[in-house]
Amino acid sequence: MSKHYRYVWQDCGEEARARAAPLDMTHLSRQTLGDKHIEKEVLAMFLRQMEVVSGQIATADPAARRELAHALTGAARGIGAFALADCAAALEADPGNEAEVERLSNLAAEVHDFIAELP
């Protein structure tokens, strides 16, 4: 678990901790059948996609923003980045919401940092 979340959630149940972390590693493990090599490959592909989306979404027109948010929603859910996925879904529903764009940027940074800390 990321150093940023380790102490805040220590008294919560396992499921609550997984949901609080930027990435639910149990979900990712289920998606990859526990294969650590596949996990690393999937996370690397996700990071590349997230970087592209993050680089374009702030300046995209509403239609393009909706498409970018939609793509990120599915990818984030697939790896267990549920907070990021929920934010992207909210942005897909309301692509003009600049507060969600900023929130998405912050959540993307948290997910990136969490993945970077993985062994």
Does residue 3 fall inside a structural domain?
A: no
Q: What is the pLDDT of residues 55-91, one digit of tens each?
A: 999 999 999 999 999 999 999 999 999 999 999 999 9
Report yes or no on 106 lying in a domain: yes
Does 5 reside within a domain?
A: no
Residue 4 lies in a domain: no
| pLDDT at 8 exceeding the cut of 80 | no
Domain of 87 in residue numbering reads as: 14-117
Mean pLDDT of the chain: 88
pLDDT score at 5: 43
CATH of residue 113's domain is 1.20.120.160
Examine residue 38 and state whether it is found in any structural domain, yes or no.
Answer: yes
Q: Is residue 6 part of a domain?
A: no
Count of residues for the chain?
119
- The pLDDT of residue 19 is 59
What residues have CB less than 8 Å from 38, skipping those under 6 apart?
Answer: 32
**How sure is the predictor about 20, in pLDDT bands with cuts at 50, 70 and 90?**
confident
Sort residue 107 into left (φ over 0), alpha (ψ -120 to 50) or beta.
alpha
User: Which among 100, 81, 2, 94 is positioned nearest to 43, based on CA atoms?
Assistant: 81
Count of structural domains within the chain: 1
Reported pTM: 0.83
How many Å is the maximal CA-CA distance in the chain?
Answer: 43
First to last CA, the chain: 11
Is residue 8 one of the residues assigned to a domain? no
Is 109 part of a structural domain of the chain? yes
CA dist., res. 114 & res. 119, Å (int): 10
